[in-house]
Amino acid sequence: MEKKFFIRTFGCQMNEYDSEKIADIMTATGDTPSASIEDADIVVFNTCSVREKAQEKLFSDLGRMRPLKEKNPNLMIGVGGCVASQEGEAIIKRVPYVDVVFGPQTLHRLPQLLRARESSGRAQVDITFPEIEKFDHLPATSNDAATAFVSVMEGCSKYCSFCVVPYTRGEEVSRPLDSVLTEIIQLAENGCREVTLLGQNVNAYRVTTDGVLVDFADLLAAVSEVPGIERVRFTTSHPVEFSQRLIDAYAYLPKLPDYLHLPVQSGSDQILARMKRGYTTLEYKSIIRRLRQVRPQMLISSDFIIGFPGESDADFDKTMQLVAQIKFDFSFSFIYSQRPGTPAASFADDTPTAVKKERLTQLQQVLEANGKQYSEAMVGNIEEVLVTGHAKRGKHMLQGRSANTRVVNFAADEKWIGKIVPLSITEATPHSLRGEIVDSAY
């Protein structure tokens, strides 16, 4: 019998992508999406454990499922993603009315797990890492948007001392080239114009195809060749393995935008070493300097962790110095969150929370000011904007994204949705831009 499913997603773009795939799998088995959690027969939580708060949010949401389950004992509750991977059986012990627990690498087995739950009457747990099997079992993509995520590798082998990802998603495994390209060709046929290649460290991508080694620079070149694809983004790359070949790709691949998200985490070499990041600030700056030689307008955004165990005022000052030197764009910054099972969990941490919060505010103020300045400097420019749909507000207003990720609102006919159009930027507001279609576009 056809069932209605509802998926709640926490965390990163990887999880958003995985949720799309879960929806494709459920649809392929005859189920349909439900508009609300209350009407669903199957509710799936795709979880994140990178920081404690995201993890706790899952358990409070699961608590709220109890009355729904009591009202409808046939309701199936599934928990996937990184909390599932880390906690496994413990989730069922803590919340006995959860039916199925699956990991990021076993999401394609969800229909079997649900069936096994029904026939056996017992909760099912599968959090194994069956290599890249997942991609062989996914149905064709149903995505018909102008922009789409495409996973190119899974897992992470960097083992930063603060991070759970290598334990929850397994080690780095690259997806076969033909599998990546098949998905992108299909997306382009469905109308997609921009892809974002996804992975924890996409620049560690490495496969052998017909005896030839293909690295990330080669992958970018291959994706750029797909007819219909006009913009190729990726996230996240890592400063280690950001090779000269990859920097050179920016010179000969015009579909790569003038925008890069490259997590640095800290501007202090001592902290970077204790984080086990594998680079120094000098090495990081050298990558950016060489990139900007090729692309002078390149905007750099980043991830920062504030209040890592032992971060002194002097360490934090070094982070602020680096921010001034690189002049980072809008970025992500969070206070360090101790994660069980990671090496940093046993590091002594004597910085008071109030000091960490004060540092975070200081950093965020500078990053916001930089972002606004970059946006203001775009006023008067002609920018290529990928039109993604209707604007949130305003009749006859459309919305799109510039190559450097700014949201641009403009008045125009719906026929532009899904296309890249040149817009003249007329105004910068705190988190978006306004533009007008230039006459030559018509």
Contact of residue 159 among ligand SAM, ligand F3S, none (CB under 5-8 Å per partner type): ligand F3S
Exactly one of 238, 261, 359, 401 binds ligand SAM (CB under 6 A); that residue is: 238
Pairwise CA distance, residues 104 & 81, whole Å: 5
Residues 205, 152 contacting (CB under 8 angstroms): yes
Number of residues that bind ligand F3S (CB under 6 A): 10
Q: How far is the CB of 163 from ligand F3S (least distance, A)?
A: 3
Q: Which residues contact 104 (CB under 8 A, 6 or more apart)?
A: 14, 18, 80, 81, 82, 85, 154, 168, 169
Q: Which is nearer to ligand SAM, 343 or 422 (CB)?
A: 343
Pairwise CA distance, residues 151 & 14, whole Å: 8
Residues 2, 30 contacting (CB under 8 angstroms): yes
AA identity, residue 352: P
Contact of residue 334 among ligand SAM, ligand F3S, none (CB under 5-8 Å per partner type): ligand SAM
Contact of residue 337 among ligand SAM, ligand F3S, none (CB under 5-8 Å per partner type): ligand SAM
Q: How far is the CB of 127 from ligand F3S (least distance, A)?
A: 18
Exactly one of 62, 150, 165, 387 binds ligand SAM (CB under 6 A); that residue is: 165
Q: Which residues contact 217 (CB under 8 A, 6 or more apart)?
A: 243, 245, 246, 248, 249
Q: Which is nearer to ligand SAM, 231 or 339 (CB)?
A: 339
Q: Which residues contact 272 (CB under 8 A, 6 or more apart)?
A: 265, 266, 279, 280, 281
Please identify which residue in the block is written with the tokens 């600030």.
Answer: 281
Q: How far is the CB of 349 from ligand SAM (least distance, A)?
A: 12
H-helix or E-strand spanning residue 44 = strand 42-47
Q: Which is nearer to ligand F3S, 165 or 271 (CB)?
A: 165
Query: Is 27 a binder of ligand SAM (CB under 6 A)?
Result: no
What is the contact mask toward ligand F3S in residues 216 to 255, using x (rule: CB under 6 A)? ----------------------x-----------------
Greatest C-alpha distance within the chain: 65
Exactly one of 291, 305, 385, 437 binds ligand SAM (CB under 6 A); that residue is: 305
Query: Is 236 a binder of ligand SAM (CB under 6 A)?
Result: yes
Please identify which residue in the block is written with the tokens 């920018």.
Answer: 383
Q: Which residues contact 336 (CB under 8 A, 6 or more apart)?
A: 162, 305, 306, 307, 308, 309, 311, 344, 349, 356
Exactly one of 43, 95, 160, 271 binds ligand F3S (CB under 6 A); that residue is: 160
Pairwise CA distance, residues 386 & 407, whole Å: 10
Query: Is 318 a binder of ligand SAM (CB under 6 A)?
Result: no
Query: Is 428 a binder of ligand F3S (CB under 6 A)?
Result: no
Positions touching ligand F3S (CB under 6 A) are 156, 158-160, 163, 165-166, 200-201, 238
Positions touching ligand SAM (CB under 6 A) are 12, 50-51, 162-163, 165, 200-201, 236, 238, 263, 265, 303, 305, 334, 336-337, 339
